Amino acid sequence: MESKFCPKMTDEKYALVEKIVKDVHNVLCKTVDLYSFDIIPVHTNLRNKSPVVCVENCLGLESWCVKQVYLHCYSELMENICAKSQRQYKKSSLLNSESLVKLLNVTLLINPDLCVLWNKRRNMLQESLLDSTLEMKFTSLVLSRKPKCNDAFAYRRWILETFILSMVLLHIFEI
- pLDDT at residue 111, rounded to an integer: 98
Q: Where along the chain do its domains lie?
A: 11-174
On the question of pLDDT at 125 being above 50, the answer is yes
Predicted TM-score (pTM) of this structure: 0.85
Q: What is the arithmetic mean of pLDDT over 141-149?
A: 97
Q: What is the pLDDT of residues 110-119, one digit of tens each?
A: 999 999 999 9
CB within 8 Å of 102: residues ≥ 6 apart: 21, 22, 24, 25
